[in-house]
Amino acid sequence: MSKLRSVKGMNDLLPSEIGRWHRLERAFREAVERYGFAEVRTPIVEPTALFVRSIGEATDIVEKEMYTFEDKADKSLTLRPEGTASCVRAYLEHSIGNVEPVSKWYYLGPMYRRERPAKGRYRQFYQAGCEVYGDPGPYVDAELIDLVVSYLSALGITELEVQINSLGSGDTRERYRDSLLAYLRPLASKLSEDSQRRLERNPLRVLDSKAPEDQAIAAEAPSLLDHLSEDDRAHFADLCAALDAFGTPYRVEPKLVRGLDYYTRTLFEVKGLGADLGAQNTLCGGGRYDGMIRELGGADTPAIGFAMGLERLLLCLPDAEAEDTLDVFVIVQKPELRLEAAKIARTLRAEGLAVDADLRGTSMKSQLRRADRSRARFAAVIGEAELAAGKVQLKDLRAGTQEDVERSSLVARLAR
Ligand code: ATP
Ligand code: MG
């Protein structure tokens, strides 16, 4: 039988590396909760139509990256490739817009895209994201960008570039589409196969293409910012003014468009400049999608959101000092004392301490080695003598000192 392995592009996160993940996730929850966001958890699997309708048919995700399958009732289901569509579905399904004027949601979890795996690009990857419903911006847009930057700085990820652009809304988009098409049509034969195929349906996609032949052509394309309506222009100017007022650095990138069709007006990406990420240097992508809620059957509701890829953040995360994971490791001099060890461990755990013990009855040396490896702060050693005297020998594994402590005052001593 061939060896069983995980699916290509889908990785195990082993206990030895989970500390770094917890750091990212804890800091994210703390950051977004400070900005008034509450968590939403939606299913991993959704009806395929949700993603086709929201992300757009002429996108990489929908054309080739979705994990789609038929369930028993011949219903087409898809593993979610991103979080926004599911959030909007839940927002509509539960009529949240009828209950509160503004909703601020965050999510954190795995997403699935069948793309070619590379460093920072996987088939199962984790995203942390936020969505705001009911606020047309631009100040909430600036606040979201500021949130991302302050979260990343709190993690020590400071080598960043924030890029912003405006895609405009309704009319602007149509006008821009026309002038982009007029520019691209004569060059069509020089575009990549994907772009040629999508040209008429979604010429904007060409600007976001990673194919070098497309990028050269995109570089000379007419600028979106020149096509903005007066309202769009004012919205964008106010966004820039708010970021200036916050002291959040950014660069206006008129060629910025993103891989999903649903965006309007504000668009942003945060690039990581520090680690060697290659083409996978987009840490965060976000933007406004004012048309989507109505398109999916709801009332006209403005919306904006972002998502960050946690694997890419990990590649940028500076090494932190390893934290102690256990308070105490209980060690016995003889196998007969194992039950005593388990009882002491149990008492200490009831007091809120993180405690482990080696209950196999192995040598002191091997138990001490395990205590060290488990990054315990203290080892509590019990032998016959200690047991009779109602004491334990407490070793401070960091300082290398030791002392005898009454069992009754052990918790108080450890609390110091
Ligand atoms: P890219 O241009 O790198 O393909 P994208 O535009 O497809 O990114 P989004 O759909 O905007 O990405 O997703 C938001 C974020 O999720 C990205 O900025 C990135 O950090 C992360 N991400 C997207 N796809 C993957 C993947 N396959 N593996 C790991 N992280 C990913
Ligand atoms: Mg992509």
Please compute Rg for the chain using Cα positions. 27
Pairing of strands 303-309, 124-133: antiparallel
pLDDT at 381: 96
Residue nearest to atom 29 of ligand 1 (CA): 121
Q: Kindly state whether residue 203 falls inside one of the protein's structural domains.
A: no
Other CB atoms within 10 A of residue 339 CB: 10
Pairing of strands 124-133, 160-166: unpaired
Last residue of a domain, one of 281, 316, 351: 316
Q: What is the 3-state secondary structure (H, E, C) of 348-409?
A: HHHCCCCEEECCCCCCHHHHHHHHHHCCEEEEEEECHHHHHHCEEEEEECCCCEEEEEEHHH
Nearest ligand 1 atom to alpha carbon 61: 7
CATH of the domain at 354: 3.40.50.800
Residue nearest to atom 11 of ligand 1 (CA): 285
- Does residue 279 share a domain with residue 257? yes
Residue nearest to atom 6 of ligand 1 (CA): 259
- Does residue 388 share a domain with residue 260? no
Last residue of a domain, one of 289, 316, 343: 316
Tokens at residue 177, please? 């589409």
- Does residue 292 share a domain with residue 393? no
- Does residue 285 share a domain with residue 142? yes
Nearest ligand 1 atom to alpha carbon 260: 10
Q: Kindly state whether residue 197 falls inside one of the protein's structural domains.
A: no
- Does residue 394 share a domain with residue 351? yes
Among 13, 24, 22, 28, CA closest to 325:
22
**CA-to-CA dists, residue 349 to 197, 272, 326, 376, 380, angstroms:** 63, 42, 11, 14, 14
pLDDT at 342: 96
Helices 18-34 & 139-154 angle (0-180, nearest 10): 150
Tokens at residue 273, please? 């400049």
Q: Kindly state whether residue 215 falls inside one of the protein's structural domains.
A: no
Residue 118: strand pairing partners: 121
Is residue 131 within 8 A of residue 101, CB to CB? The reply is no
- Does residue 28 share a domain with residue 49? yes
User: Whole-prediction pTM value?
Assistant: 0.92
- Does residue 278 share a domain with residue 166? yes
**Residue of 64, 87, 125 to test ligand 1 pocket, by largest number of atoms within 8 Å of CB:** 125
| Residue 282 Cα to ligand 2 middle (Å) | 10
- Does residue 281 share a domain with residue 404? no
pLDDT at 205: 86
- Residue 253 to residue 367: CA distance in whole angstroms: 59
Residue nearest to atom 19 of ligand 1 (CA): 309
- Does residue 355 share a domain with residue 261? no
- Does residue 273 share a domain with residue 140? yes
- Does residue 307 share a domain with residue 241? yes
Ligand 1 lining (C-beta closer than 6 Å): 82, 113, 115, 120-122, 125, 127, 258-259, 280, 282-285, 307-309, 311-312
- Residue 381 to residue 394: CA distance in whole angstroms: 6
| Residue 346 Cα to ligand 1 middle (Å) | 45
Last residue of a domain, one of 316, 336, 357: 316
pLDDT at 170: 78
| Residue 315 Cα to ligand 1 middle (Å) | 14
Q: Kindly state whether residue 188 falls inside one of the protein's structural domains.
A: no
**Residue of 124, 127, 130, 256 to test ligand 1 pocket, by largest number of atoms within 8 Å of CB:** 127
Q: What is the mean pLDDT of each run of 10 residues along the chain (416 residues)?
A: 92 93 96 98 97 90 95 92 98 97 98 96 98 97 98 95 93 88 94 91 88 92 92 97 98 88 92 88 96 93 98 90 84 95 94 95 94 93 92 94 93 86
Peptide bond into 138 cis (omega under 30): yes
Q: Is 196 helix (H, G, I), strand (E, B) or coil?
A: helix
pLDDT at 58: 83
CA 314 from centre of chain: 10
| Residue 259 Cα to ligand 2 middle (Å) | 6
**Residue of 280, 288, 310, 316 to test ligand 1 pocket, by largest number of atoms within 8 Å of CB:** 280
Q: Kindly state whether residue 185 falls inside one of the protein's structural domains.
A: no
Identify the nearest ligand to the CA of 127 by its number: 1
Q: Kindly state whether residue 253 falls inside one of the protein's structural domains.
A: yes
- Residue 210 to residue 252: CA distance in whole angstroms: 20
Burial of 26 (0-12, 13-18, 19+ CB in 10 A): exposed
- Does residue 266 share a domain with residue 378? no
Q: Kindly state whether residue 205 falls inside one of the protein's structural domains.
A: no
CA atoms in the 13 A half-sphere facing the CB of 360: 7
- Residue 68 to residue 65: CA distance in whole angstroms: 9
pLDDT at 78: 98
| Residue 399 Cα to ligand 2 middle (Å) | 49
- How many domains does the structure of the chain reveal? 2
Residue 76: strand pairing partners: 70
CATH of the domain at 166: 3.30.930.10
pLDDT at 275: 78
Structural domain boundaries, residue 410: 326-415
Q: Kindly state whether residue 186 falls inside one of the protein's structural domains.
A: no
